[in-house]
Structure 1
Amino acid sequence: MANDNQVAIEPPGVFIKMELESRGWSQRDLAFILGQTEQQLNPLLSGKRGITPDMARLLGDAFDTSPQFFLNLQGRYDLQNAKEPDPAVKTRAGLQAHFPVRDMIRRGWVQDGEASLLQLQMDRFFEVANDEMPGEIAFAAKRTHYNDTPPHQLAWVFRARQLARQATVSPYSADMLKALLPKLRTLMVDPEAVASVPGLLAACGVRFVVVEVLPNAKIDGACTWLDDASPVIAISTLYDRLDNFWFVLRHEIEHVLQGHGKHSIGMIDYLTGESIGDENSEEDEENVANAAAADFCVPTAKMASFYARKNPYFSERDVVGFAALMAIHPAIVVGQLQKRMKRYDYLRKYQVPVRRYLLKEAIADGWGNAVEVHL
């Protein structure tokens, strides 16, 4: 349908008739020139049939002009009379350009549907109104890998915030959270004990959620705040290992205790691999959190002493004995040794998965389970 502000474009046949008149040719003359009958030519001149590429070539030779001219006439006419597109196409394209909409729909974070409803869901999901863009996230140890805010990570942290609002917790107390640390330390000897972490944090006013990462996103955990007195710790269990869990958890607890991320969407951490325990992190806030996490898992001085005494020959017996002395599971010591030696196959049998224990007690999203949240 033609737009009210546009001048209506006549069918190409009208122009051809005008050209015939200016040349003093009849329709029969043109049919003769083209090697066709008048009956074959009638639908074209009346606008009932469009100009095909073959016909454009014939007309180009007949009128001594470019075949493209006739194709352009037909194209402009067809475009003006084309059906108005579904407005959802433009909306979905705009959203997909900034956010992983398809992955979000697949995970059940938003529902596919009519354009305005999808836009409304996305605005509510990202806690924004109109055309504003979500706030910047303060990225952590792997910041140099990103030039801007990766959309998959942005969506992940907002999903964590969304789920955290469903948690029932006591008022936040930094003193209680600090006092909880020795208790958490005693749990590190038993992998199944991680199941008690969500409840212990809730008693201190910290909301704890577990969210599976979206494709192509590398996230271990995050500290975000719903308001100045409502901290949230989210983890992904991207690497489902006991040592990774405790390092990431203590890292995020330190962010909470220090009030990091209160004036942004939060702190997102990818700490696995090269960045774990790396004291050369460019971010002061990450230095603080990394140091606290490393010392919590294995006291830094004792780990350094053990490494200096046994390097380069670490027997399994030495490792198990040192872990017993530290009152932690051997996986914690193995994780730190793997990092220091850059041998991630070393005593891998001690690396224990813990996600299955967490999912029993924590508010969790992913791994085939989608938590229903009304936007």
Structure 2
Amino acid sequence: MSNVNEYKDIVAYHPGYYIADIIEDMEISQAEFATRMGTTAKTLSQLINGQANISNDLAKKLSTMLGTSVEVWQNLQNTYDQKLIEIQHAKDVDAQAELAKEIDYKYFVDVIGLPIARSINEKVANLCKYFKVADLRIMLQPDFLVNFRSSASCNNEKNIINSRAWIQTAINISKSIETKPYNAEKLKGYLPELRGMTVKKPEEFLPRMREIFAECGVAFVLLPHLKNSGVNGAVKWVSEDRVVLAMNNRGLDADKFWFSLFHEIKHVLQQKIKTVFISSTVEEMKDINDKLEIEADKFATNYLISPADYKRLVPTRYTSDDEIVEFAKRIGIHPGIVAGRLQHEGVIAQNRCSKLKEKYVIEIKHIA
């Protein structure tokens, strides 16, 4: 260990650095200086080499021996300690800067209202404050917010930190949403009304949807997509009486929107308080609870189009658009959801039914 620590333009001088100069000026050996000071040669050597700090006792001995105040030596130690903190902070910021470059900072300026940053260091500071972390690297830790599938190929820090940034943003925004205590039975009772909203426009169903969720103890957050996050939706319990259900507005085909919504609703109803569910487009980042995911997929599929109704349709690759529209009308659901189901199951070609698969346009204004 050296008695001088440097990083970029920051230099920290240990008190031992000055003691070494004094010994040289006195033209005596370290052993003799130690004797005159009333300490051991080992203690003095550690002090000179920056391996030990100046105690109050050593500061008193030095002040008496050299005719200085005790505060001189205490201040040298304090200054050194502060400089070490400054150096470590600079190193930490530089390490975090590489992570910050992977995050679309403009997203947080436009959506959340974070201040425009003049430097990467400001970006790091602003993001840490918003995410409530001491270091951006903490967001890469396995136990931060959500556990992903363990895989040798799951080393994409860009996807991981952006997915967690998106989830944390949803959690932060949810704090401004007032909800009643969670009530599973009430939520189940509203499911038919939510399903019936599939035939309405977003500007009609979104306000009512938010009311329903809030009434049931669910803070519903719809966020713009964050580049490289790979997140379609997430469910996180913030207490036993309150849960956050978050979705993004990327690629909002009606069928994908409603399937994703009912998928997340099932995760809410599963009521796994200690589990964060994440729906992701990145395979290695999907939730580790396979059984619960399969259950949520099955629920969304069968609630939107019941097995009995689907059987009555008797779908084939020859099923026409008019037949799909008529069937959707009979069961009170958006025809795009029916078309999407048939495409997903390989019954009809992916390039079919483009006119039936409505794409929602949901503008999300500044939500700070």
Q: Same fold (TM over 0.5)?
A: yes
- Spell out the pairing of 1:1-375 with structure 2 (5 A cutoff): 4=13, 90-99=91-100, 102-108=103-109, 109=112, 110-111=114-115, 112=117, 121-129=126-134, 133-134=138-139, 135-139=144-148, 146-147=154-155, 150-192=160-202, 193-195=204-206, 196-260=208-272, 262-264=273-275, 266-270=276-280, 283-306=290-313, 309-341=314-346, 343-356=349-362, 359=363, 364=364, 369-372=365-368
Report the equivalent of 2:60: none
Partner letter of residue 225 of structure 2? V
In 1, Cα distance between equivalents of 2:152 and 2:264: 20
Q: Matched residues in 2 for 1:243 and 1:207: separation? A: 22
Conserved? CA contact 2:96–2:135, under 8 Å: no
2:99 touches 2:136 (CA, 8 Å); kept in 1? no
Shift of 1:99: 5.0
Letter in 2 for 1:103: D
Separation of aligned partners in 1, 2:118 and 2:88 = 12
Q: Tell me, in whole angstroms, the C-alpha distance in 2 between the residues paired with 1:332 and 1:293.
A: 11
Cα distance, 1:211–1:144 mapped onto 2, change above 3 Å: farther
SS in 2 for 1:208: strand
What letter is aligned with 1:133?
I
What secondary structure is seen at the aligned counterpart in 2 of 1:209? strand
How many pairs align?
274
Distance 1:102 1:147 in 2: 16
Q: Take 1:143 and 1:354, find their aligned partners in 2: how far apart are those partners? A: 35
C-alpha distance in structure 1 between counterparts of 2:246 and 2:231, whole Å:
10
Q: Could you say if the C-alpha distance between residues 218 and 301 of structure 1 is closer, same or farther in structure 2, counting changes exceeding 3 Å?
A: farther
Q: Which residue of 2 aligns with 1:277?
A: none
Over 3 Å counting, the alpha-carbon distance change for 1:152 and 1:191 in structure 2 is same
Larger RCO of the pair (alpha carbons < 8 Å, separation 6+): 1
Q: TM-score, normalised by structure 2?
A: 0.64
Q: 1:304 to 1:92 in 2, by over 3 A?
A: farther
Q: Letter of the aligned partner of 2:301 in structure 1?
A: A
Q: Distance in 2 between matches of 1:145 and 1:321?
A: 46
2-structure distance, mates of 1:91, 1:197: 43
Residue 47 of structure 2: aligned partner: none
Q: Within 2, Cα distance between the matches of 1:100 and 1:165? A: 27
Cα distance change on mapping 1:300 and 1:127 into 2, 3 Å: farther
1:182 Cα deviation after fit: 1.4
Identity over aligned pairs, percent: 24
- Residue 296 of structure 1, CA deviation: 1.5
Structure 1: gaps of 5 or more residues: 8-84, 275-280
How far apart are the structure 2 equivalents of 1:230 and 1:245? 23
- Which digits, 9 at most, give the CA deviation of each residue in 1:269-290, with x for residues without a partner? 0369x9xxxxxx9701101111
Greater Rg, structure 1 or structure 2?
A: 1
> Structure 1 residues 218, 130: CA separation in 2 closer, same or farther (over 3 Å shift)?
closer
> Structure 2: 5+ residue runs without aligned partners?
1-8, 18-85
- What is the deviation of 1:255? 0.6
Does the 8 Å CA contact 2:255/2:340 hold for their aligned counterparts? Answer: yes
